[in-house]
Amino acid sequence: MEQTKIQTQTLTQTLTQTLTLNEKRLLIALNSLKQTGPGPLAEELATTEEAVIQYAHLCAGKGLAAVDRDVAVAYHLTGEGETYAQNGLPERQLLDSFEERIPMKELQQHPLARIGIGWMRKKGWVTIKGGIVEKAGDAPRGEDEAALQDLSASKKGLQMLIKRGLIAEEESVSHTIRITPEGEAMVAAGLDLAEEVGTLSREQIISGEWKNLKLRRYSVSTLPRRVFPGKIHPYQQLLTEMRRILLNMGFTEIYGDVVQSSFWNFDALFQPQDHPAREMQDTFFIDVRRECPEGWEKVRDMHEQGGGTSSTGWGGAWSRDTAEGCVLRTHTTGLTIKHLHDNPEPPVKAFSIGRAYRREAIDPTHTPEFEQLEGVVMDEGVTFRHLLGFLKEFYRQMGFDDVRFRPGYFPYTEPSVEPEVWVDGLGWVELGGAGVFREEVTVANGLACPVLAWGLGISRLAMLRMNLKDLRLLYRSDVDWVREYPLADAHRAGGR
Amino acid sequence: MPIITLPYEYLETLVGTDRETILARIPMFGADIERIEEDHADVEFFANRPDLYSTEGVARALRGFLDIETGLPSYEVAPSGIEFSVDPGLAAIRPYLGSAVIRNVRLDEDSIVSLMGLQEALHWAVGRGRKKVAIGIHDLARITPPFRYFAADPATAFVPLDFDREMTLDGILADHPKGRDYAHIVQAYPRYPLIVDAHDQVLSFPPIINGELTRVTTETTDILLDTTGTDRRAVMTVVNIICTAFAEMGATIESVHVDGEEMPSLAPSERTISVAECRKLLGIDLSAEDLAALLEKMRFGAVPEGADSVHIQIPCYRADIMHDWDVFEDAAIACGYGAIEPALPRTFTVGKEHPVTRVMDLVRTLMVGLGFQEMMPFTLTNERILFANMRRKKDPAVLQLMRPISEEQTVVRTAILPMLAEILQFNVHRELPMRLFAVGDVVQEAATHQHAAAVSMHPDADFSEIFAAADVLCRELGLAYSVAESDDPAFIPGRRGDIQVEGATVGVFGELHPDVLGAFEFDQPVSALELDLRAVLQSPSRRDTP
C-alpha cells in the first residue's frame, strides 16, 4: 500500500515537470469550468481558440484533460442558388416563358436557354421535334424545387442541388474540453506557475541569469518533425560504390561519348554486319556518320577472311559504309575497345560505368537506357583462369561470397563465361557476362596481348540489392522514396 | 535465344541415362534451364550452337559430355541419283541451294511439332529471319525428280500451305500471312525464287512458303530437304544440322546432285591446333593427350600429333568453330569451368578516376550540402518537354532518334533542367520544399558533354535562393564567373541571370516563367539553374587539375 502511494507521487511529480506553463494555466482555468468549449478558455488565457485546442490536446495526451471533436454539416445556398430560390430554377422560368409550343430558335433567345433547355429535356417536361419545343404534360414541382425553398424539405432534392452547385456543404467542427479526475488532482496538488524559458538568449548565457531561470522541459517521447537532408540518389550511391571498388583494384576509369559509330560499337568487336543487334529493330540509329579510323582495313580483313589469324572470318563482303553509320551506344564496350586501341601498351586495366541504350519499350523490367559496368585487363600472360580470378574478387568486393562460373556466349569473347552469385532466397542468380576478347578483336585493333573483359547491367543488380520491383523508379524517382531510403542500405547494396 | 523443349523419356532413350543426371549437368554444358515440367524441360541454348536446337542434337552432345559416347559421330551418305538444277538467273536474288534426301523417317504428331520448332529456331539463329537461309521440308512421295530452282514470273500460281486455293506469287506476298511477314526479302526483285518438280508442280516459294502438295504428315517416310539463301556456308550448315538430327533418329541420308555437286557429304572439317596456345589461353596445364580427350568429349575427332599438336576433326553440324580459340573454349567446357582454379595476376597498376566523373562528384557534394536531393532522369526525352514546355526555341543541335520506340522518347536531352521539371511533375503532391538536382550527360551536335541542373519548389522559391545556390556552385568549382541579365524565355524577365565565364554563357538561373509552371502543372513557384560543366573542366582558373 505504502509502496503504491510513493509510486503515484513520483509519477505525479514527473508529470508536473513535463507540463508547460500554458498547459498548467489551461488546467487551472479548466478546473473551475470543468467542461467548456474553447471560447471561454481562450478568453481566460488571452490566446486564440486554436492555441487552446492545442494545449488541451497536449494535456489530453497526459491523461489530464479530454477533448471531444464534433463535426456538423451545414448547408447554405450559393449565390446562384440564392437567385433561383427567388425566381425559380432556370428550367421552370423557361417553361413558364411560353405557351404550348415555341420554335427552338426563338426559345434560344431566352437568357436562361443554355442551362434551362437541357434540364427541361432531362426532366421530360418538353419534347423537341423538327426545331419545335413542345410541352409534355403538366411539369409537377420537383423535389429539387422543394429543397430550394426549404433546405430541410427533401434530402434527395438537396443532393440534386449540391450536384448543380446551387447549395454548398460546409463542415463545422466544435470542440468540448473537460478536465479528468487526474487533472483535478494535479490542480488540487498545486501547480507552479513560474515563467518558463524556451531557447536561452545570448544575454541570459553570458550574464549567468540562466541559473535563476526555470528552463522548459521537452518531451523525449514525442518524435521530432521529420526533416530530409540533401542526399545522393540511392542508385548513384551504388554506382559510386562500384566505382570505388574498381579504383581500389587498380583500374583506370573511362568515360566517353553516348554516340558511337557502328565501327566502334560493332565492327571493331567482330560483330557481323548482318547480326540482328545491328538492325533498326533493336538499336537506336541516328542520322550521323563518322569516318572509320586509320587502319580500318584490318577490321575489314578480319570480318571477310580472318585477317591472318586461325579464324575463317564471317565471309562475304564487309561494308565500310555500314560501319560509318552511328548509333546510341548499345554497350560501353565500344569505348573500351577504342581505349585499348589508343593505349595498346600493356598492362592496361580499365573500367567504365555509363548508360547504354537498347530499343526497348519502357515497362517495369525494361528501360531503353540503363547503366552498364565494364572492366578489362590487358596484359602479357593473362589467361581465362585470371579472368575467373578477377570476377571472383570483384563479386566478393560487392558482397557476394559464393560465385560460380558457367559457359556463356557473347559474340566478341571466347571463351565466354556467365558468372552466377548465390543469393539467399533466390538461389544462383546470373549477374553479368565475361570472357577473353576473341583474337579477331584484339588482332584487328592492333593488340598483342590477351584482353580479359567483363560486363554487368547494374540496374539488375540494383533491383536485386535494393529490392525494387520496378526499374523505372531509378530514373523517374518518387521523391519520397529517395527521402526515405536509408543511406546505409544504399551502401550495403553497393558492397561490403 | 531459342528455347528447346526436351521430352524426358525420349531424351533418356537417346542419351542413355536418367533425367536427374541430365538436368544437373546441362547448365554446366552451356545452356539455361527455363522451366522444369512433369514430362519435359524447356532449355535455352545459345545463338552460336544451332546444332543443339533439336532433342537429337542435344542428346548427341550430352552423350559426349557425360562420357557415354565420345569422339566424332560419323554419318553415312549414299547417292540418291536425284538431280536438282539452279537457274543462274537467281544469282542476284537468292543464289545458293542446299539439298538432301532423307529416307526411312518415322514421324508422329509430336515429332512433326518438334521438327517445325527446329526449323523456326534455325530460321532465327542462322537464317537471320529467313533472309540468309530458308528451309523447306517436303514429302518426296508426292513429287517427281528432277527438281528445278529458278527465278519465276510473279504471276505463277500454286496452292500454298494452309490454303485450299491457288494463289499467284504476288497474291501470296499480299494476302498469305507468311507472305506478308517475309515479302520484304524478295519484293524488290522482278522475279521470285521457286522450286518445281519434273511436272512443274510447285514444292516451294522460298523463303516464303511451301506448297500444300508436299505437306509432311505422319504418313511421310521419305523427305526432300531444300535450303536456299544468300550465304553458301550458312545454307550448307543448315543442311548438315537437319540431316544429322534425322540420322540420330535412325533415318538414312542420301545425297542429291545439285548443278554438278553431290551434297551433302556430312564429312568433318579438319584443323591442327597447338596445345601450348590452348594452355596460354586457358591458363591450365594440359598435355596433348589431355586436350584430345577433352575434345573427344565434345564430339570432335582428336588425335595428338607429338607433344604440342592435336589434329582435330570438326563435326559438320558445328556452325560456330571459326577459330582455334572456339575449340579451346570447348576444351574448357569439357574440363568444367568449376574445375578451373581462379587466380589473380601479379601485375601492379594504380587506379585512376576520370576528370569528368570527378567533377560530377564535386557537384554532388556541393548540391547535397545545399540541401538538394539527387535525381537520375532519363537522357531520352521529347521536344515537348525539352523545348515547348520550357518556352524555348528548338535547339538545332538536338539529336533525333531515327526510329524512336515511343512519342515520349524521340530525342537525346540537350539540357537537364526540363528533365528535373518533369520529375517534379511526377511528384507534385509530395511535401514541400522539394529541392532536386541532377548531373550527367547531354548531347549536342552528336557530341556528349555534362551539365548540372537544380530546381527548388516551395512557396518562397525565388531568384535570391537560386542565385545563392548558383554562386556556391561556381565559387566552389573554381569558376571565375560573372552574371549578366539573361533573355532565356524559360524564366521570368528581370528574375533571370546568365552565368558567364570569359564572356561566354555557361549557365543560367532564375525563377521559372509562370507559363512554364503551367505547362508542367505546377501551382507553386520554382527557381532553377543549369550549368555546363565544360566550363569547369576547361577553366584556366582552376588551381588543381583532376
Q: How far apart are CA B68 and CA B241, in angstroms?
A: 21
Mutation to test the B interface, candidates A286, A452, A484, A485, most B Cβ within 10 Å: A286
Does residue A105 share a domain with residue A68?
A: no
Mutation to test the B interface, candidates A253, A265, A401, most B Cβ within 10 Å: A253
Cβ atoms within 10 Å of B79's Cβ, excluding its own = 11
Instruction: Tell me which chain B residue has its CA closest to the CA of residue A419.
Output: B337
Q: Name the maximum alpha-carbon separation found in chain B.
A: 92
* B373 CB within 8 Å of a chain A CB: yes
pLDDT digits (tens, 9 = 90+) for B143-175: 999 999 999 999 999 999 999 999 999 999 999
Q: How far apart are CA B148 and CA A100, in angstroms?
A: 88
pLDDT digits (tens, 9 = 90+) for B38-77: 999 999 999 899 999 999 999 999 999 999 999 999 999 9
Q: How far apart are CA A459 and CA A353, in angstroms?
A: 11
Contact criterion met (CB < 8 Å) for B379 and A256:
no
**How far apart, in Å, are the Cα atoms of A283 and each of A198, A278, A422, B130?**
65, 6, 32, 20
> What CATH number is associated with residue A390?
3.30.930.10
The side-by-side arrangement of strands in the sheet containing A325-328 is A259-261, A325-328, A285-289
Question: Given the DSSP bridges, would you call strands A433-437 and A427-430 parallel, antiparallel or unpaired?
Answer: unpaired
Of A280, A379, A385, the CB nearest to B347: A379
* A316 CB within 8 Å of a chain B CB: yes
In a domain, A214, yes or no: no
Its domain, for residue A22, covers 2-72+172-198
Question: Given the DSSP bridges, would you call strands B147-152 and B77-86 parallel, antiparallel or unpaired?
Answer: parallel
Q: How far apart are CA A322 and CA A285, in angstroms?
A: 12
The nearest CA of chain A is from the CA of B287 a distance in Å of 17
Does residue A459 share a domain with residue A310?
A: yes
Of A230, A280, A415, the CB nearest to B329: A415
Q: Kindly indicate the confidence band of residue A109, based on its pLDDT and cuts at 50, 70 and 90.
A: confident
The side-by-side arrangement of strands in the sheet containing B504-512 is B373-374, B434-444, B447-457, B526-532, B504-512, B491-501, B481-485
Contact criterion met (CB < 8 Å) for B329 and A253:
no
Does residue A321 share a domain with residue A438?
A: yes
Residue B542 pLDDT > 60: no
Tell me the average pLDDT across B533-541.
78
**What is the pLDDT at residue A493?**
55
Does residue A61 share a domain with residue A116?
A: no
User: Cβ contacts (< 8 Å) between A260 and chain B: which residues?
Assistant: none
Residue A267 pLDDT > 80: yes
Does residue A435 share a domain with residue A375?
A: yes
In chain B, % of residues over pLDDT 70: 99
Burial status of residue A398 (CB atoms within 10 A of its CB: 0-12, 13-18, 19 or more): buried
**What is the pLDDT at residue B543?**
46
Does residue A86 share a domain with residue A67?
A: no
pLDDT digits (tens, 9 = 90+) for A203-247: 999 999 999 888 888 878 888 888 999 999 999 999 999 999 999
Of A230, A359, A415, the CB nearest to B368: A230
Instruction: Tell me which chain B residue has its CA closest to the CA of residue A367.
Output: B378
User: Cβ contacts (< 8 Å) between A409 and chain B: which residues?
Assistant: 30, 46-49
In a domain, A213, yes or no: no
pLDDT digits (tens, 9 = 90+) for A346-402: 999 999 999 999 999 888 888 999 999 999 999 999 999 999 999 999 999 988 899
Q: Which of B370, B528, B543, B522 lies closest to B451 in space, CA to CA?
A: B528
Mutation to test the B interface, candidates A233, A283, A394, most B Cβ within 10 Å: A233
In a domain, A215, yes or no: no
**What is the pLDDT at residue B231?**
92
Does residue A110 share a domain with residue A12?
A: no
Does residue A364 share a domain with residue A262?
A: yes
Number of domains observed in the structure of chain A = 3
> What CATH number is associated with residue A46?
1.10.10.10
> What CATH number is associated with residue A97?
1.10.10
User: Cβ contacts (< 8 Å) between B408 and chain A: which residues?
Assistant: 362
Q: How far apart are CA B5 and CA B115, in angstroms?
A: 11
* Strand boundaries in B369-427, DSSP class E: 373-374, 380-381, 399-400, 411-412
In a domain, A282, yes or no: yes
Q: Which of A23, B32, A127, B14 lies closest to B23 in space, CA to CA?
A: B32
Residue B546 pLDDT > 50: no
In a domain, A210, yes or no: no
Residue A8 pLDDT > 70: no
Residue A491 pLDDT > 80: no
* DSSP-based three-state secondary structure for B362: helix
Residue ranges of A 283-312 with Cβ closer than 8 A to chain B: 284-288, 306, 309-312
Task: State the DSSP code for A71.
Answer: E
Contact criterion met (CB < 8 Å) for B337 and A417:
yes
Residue A12 pLDDT > 80: no
Does residue A190 share a domain with residue A247?
A: no
Q: How far apart are CA B21 and CA B30, in angstroms?
A: 15
Q: How far apart are CA B299 and CA B317, in angstroms?
A: 11
In a domain, A220, yes or no: no
* A448 CB within 8 Å of a chain B CB: no
In a domain, A222, yes or no: no
Q: Kindly indicate the confidence band of residue A7, based on its pLDDT and cuts at 50, 70 and 90.
A: low
* DSSP-based three-state secondary structure for A45: helix
Which of B123 and A139 is assigned the larger pLDDT? B123
Tell me the average pLDDT across B249-270.
94
Cβ atoms within 10 Å of B515's Cβ, excluding its own = 13
Instruction: Tell me which chain B residue has its CA closest to the CA of residue A288.
Output: B446
The pLDDT mean for chain A works out to 89
pLDDT digits (tens, 9 = 90+) for B495-531: 999 999 999 999 999 999 999 999 999 999 999 999 9
User: Cβ contacts (< 8 Å) between A483 and chain B: which residues?
Assistant: 373
Alpha helical stretches, state H, B405-500? 417-426, 463-476
Does residue A272 share a domain with residue A189?
A: no
In a domain, A166, yes or no: no
Position A58: which residue type?
A: L
Position B337: which residue type?
A: Y
* A404 CB within 8 Å of a chain B CB: yes
Those residues whose C-beta lies under 8 Å from the C-beta of residue B455, and which sit 6 or more positions away, are: B417, B420, B421, B424, B434, B435, B436, B437, B512, B526, B527, B528
Does residue A90 share a domain with residue A67?
A: no
For helices B275-282 and A384-397, give the axis angle rounded to 10 degrees: 10
The pLDDT mean for chain B works out to 94
Contact criterion met (CB < 8 Å) for A355 and B441:
yes
Q: How far apart are CA A332 and CA B494, in angstroms?
A: 44
Does residue A443 share a domain with residue A417?
A: yes
**What is the pLDDT at residue A196?**
79
How would DSSP label each residue in A340-371? HHH--SSPEEEEEEEEEE-----BTTB-SEEE
Q: In degrees rounded to 5, what are phi and psi of residue A354?
A: -160, 170
Mutation to test the B interface, candidates A376, A385, A397, A451, most B Cβ within 10 Å: A385
Q: How far apart are CA A103 and CA A106, in angstroms?
A: 5
Residue A2 pLDDT > 60: no
Residue A11 pLDDT > 90: no
Question: Any idea which residue has 541504350 for its cell?
Answer: A357
pLDDT digits (tens, 9 = 90+) for B185-197: 999 999 999 999 9
**How far apart, in Å, are the Cα atoms of B224 and each of B19, B47, B101?**
34, 26, 5
